[in-house]
Structure 1
Amino acid sequence: MPKALGEMEHEKLQFVDTLRALAIIGVLLVHVSQHVDGISGWIQKGLNMGAKGVALFYLASAFTLFLSLSRRSQDRRETTSAYLLRRFFRIAPLYYIMLGIYLMVNGTGPRFWLGDQDTVTIANIAAHILFLNGLNPYWMNSIIGVEWSIAVECMFYLLVPVLCKLIRSVRHAAWFVLIIVVLSFALNKGFATYSWISDHFLWGHYLYLWFPNQLPVFALGIILFFLWRNEQHWKSIDRISGGVLLVSVLFALWGGMTDYLIGGGLLLGAYALYYWQPGWMLNRVWSWIGRLSYSMYLTHMLVLGLITQMNFPFAPIVNLIMMFMMTLLLTAGLSWLTYLWIEQPGILLGKKLVSRMKPVRPQGDSVKESMA
Structure 2
Amino acid sequence: MIPDSQRLAYIEALRGIAILMVILHHSHPYFASISNYHLPAAVEEILWNGDKGVTLFFLMSAFTLCLSLNSKSKKEHKPVRNYFIRRVFRIAPLYMIIIGVVLLIGINTPSLSSVLANLFFVHGLNANWMNSTVPGGWSVGVEVLFYLIFPVLFFRLKNLPAAINITLAALVLAKIVTAVMSRYPLTGDSITWGVYVYENIFSQLPVFLIGVCLFQLKHTPVGQQERDSLVRCCYYLSAFILIHLLGGNLFKPHYLFAIAFAIAAYALSERPVKLLVNPITLWIGRISYSLYLIHLLVNNLLVKYHLNVFSSNSLADVGIRFCVVLGISAPVAYITYRLIELPFQEMGKRIIARLEHK
Aligned pairs, how many? 343
Answer whether contact 2:107 2:300 (CA < 8 A) is retained.
no
Separation (CA, whole Å) in 2 of partners of 1:291 and 1:255: 39
* 8 A contact 2:107–2:301 mirrored in 1: no
**In 2 relative to 1, CA 147–222 (structure 1 residues): closer, same or farther, beyond 3 Å?**
same
Does the alignment pair 1:196 with 2:189?
no
1:329 to 1:71, Cα distance in 2 relative to 1, 3 A: same
Aligned equivalent of 1:240 = 232
Decide which of 254, 270, 278 is 2:273's aligned counterpart: 278
- SS of corresponding position for 1:142: coil
State the AA in 2 paired with 1:244.
Y
Aligned in 2, Cα 1:196/1:13: closer, same or farther, shift over 3 Å? same
3-state DSSP of counterpart to 1:312: coil
Q: Helix, strand or coil for the counterpart of 1:32?
A: coil
Q: Which amino acid aligns with 2:237?
A: L
Match of 1:137 in 2: 127
- What secondary structure is seen at the aligned counterpart in 2 of 1:356? helix
Indicate the residue corresponding to 1:148 in structure 2. 138
Provide the residue aligned with 2:325 in structure 1.
Answer: 327
Greater displacement, 313-322 / 181-190: 313-322
Kindly indicate whether the alpha-carbon contact (under 8 Å) linking 2:135 and 2:297 is maintained by their aligned counterparts in 1.
no
Instruction: Note the 1:167-246 alignment, pairs <5 A.
Output: 167-230=157-220, 238-246=230-238
Distance 1:320 1:172, change over 3 A: same
Question: C-alpha offsets along residues 19-63 of structure 1, whole Å, 9 cap, x if unaligned?
Answer: 111110110011111326332344212211100000000111000
| Cα pair 2:117 2:129 within 8 Å, conserved | yes
* Other-structure match for 1:102: 102
Q: Which amino acid aligns with 2:234?
A: G
Q: Deviations over 1:92-142 (max 9, x none)?
A: 110000011012222554xxxxxxxxxx22221111011100111110111
Query: After alignment, is 169-178 or 351-360 more displaced?
Result: 351-360
How far apart are residue 243 of structure 1 and its match?
Answer: 2.9
Q: Structure 2 unaligned segments of length 5 or more: list them.
A: none
Q: Does 1:298 align with 2:293?
A: yes
Structure 2 residue 248 is matched with structure 1 residue 255: yes
Distance 2:25 2:254 in 1: 16
| Contact in 2 for aligned 1:181/1:248 (Cα 8 Å) | no
TM-score (norm 2): 0.90
Residues in 1 aligned to 2:64 and 2:76: alpha-carbon distance in whole angstroms: 20
Unaligned residue ranges in structure 1 (runs of 5+): 110-119, 361-372
Q: Report deviation, 1:145.
A: 1.6
Residue number in structure 1 paired with 2:40: 40
- Given the alignment, which residue of 245, 260, 278 partners 1:265? 260
Alpha-carbon contact 2:39-2:314 (below 8 Å) kept: yes
Instruction: Give CA-to-partner distance per residue, 1:272-325, whole Å, 9 cap, x none.
Output: 222231122212221111011000000001222344533423422112111111
- Of residues 46-55 and 8-17 in structure 1, the stretch that sits farther from structure 2 once superposed is 8-17
Contact 1:30 1:48 in 2 (8 A): yes
Whole-angstrom CA distance in 1 between matches of 2:209 and 2:315: 37
Does structure 1 residue 83 correspond to structure 2 residue 78?
Answer: no
Taking the aligned partners of 1:220 and 1:167, their CA distance within structure 2 comes to 12
Cα offsets for 1:54-99 (capped at 9, x unmatched):
0000111000001111111113512422211110000111000001
**In 1, are the aligned partners of 2:76 and 2:356 still within 8 Å (CA)?**
no
Find the counterpart in structure 2 of residue 337 from structure 1: 335
Q: Is the 8 A contact 2:171 2:206 kept in 1?
A: yes
Q: 1:316-369 CA deviation, whole Å, 9 max, x = no partner?
A: 211211111121122111100000000001101111111121218xxxxxxxxx
String of CA shifts for 1:199-248, please: whole Å, max 9, x gaps. Answer: 2332121111100000010011011111221468xx97942333333334
Cα deviation for residue 12 of structure 1 reads 2.0
* 8 Å CA contact 2:135, 2:293 repeated in 1: no
- Would the aligned equivalents of 1:295 and 1:335 in 2 still touch at CA under 8 Å? yes
Structure 2 Cα separation of the partners of residues 298 and 249 of structure 1 = 36
RMSD between aligned residues: 2.1
What is the CA–CA distance in structure 2 between the aligned matches of 1:336 and 1:250, rounded to whole Å? Answer: 46
Aligned residue for 1:281, secondary structure, equals coil
User: 1:369 is matched with which residue?
Assistant: none
CA distance in 2, matches of 1:141, 1:263: 23
Cα pair 2:89 2:344 within 8 Å, conserved: yes
The CA distance in 1 between the partners of 2:243 and 2:64, in whole Å, is 28
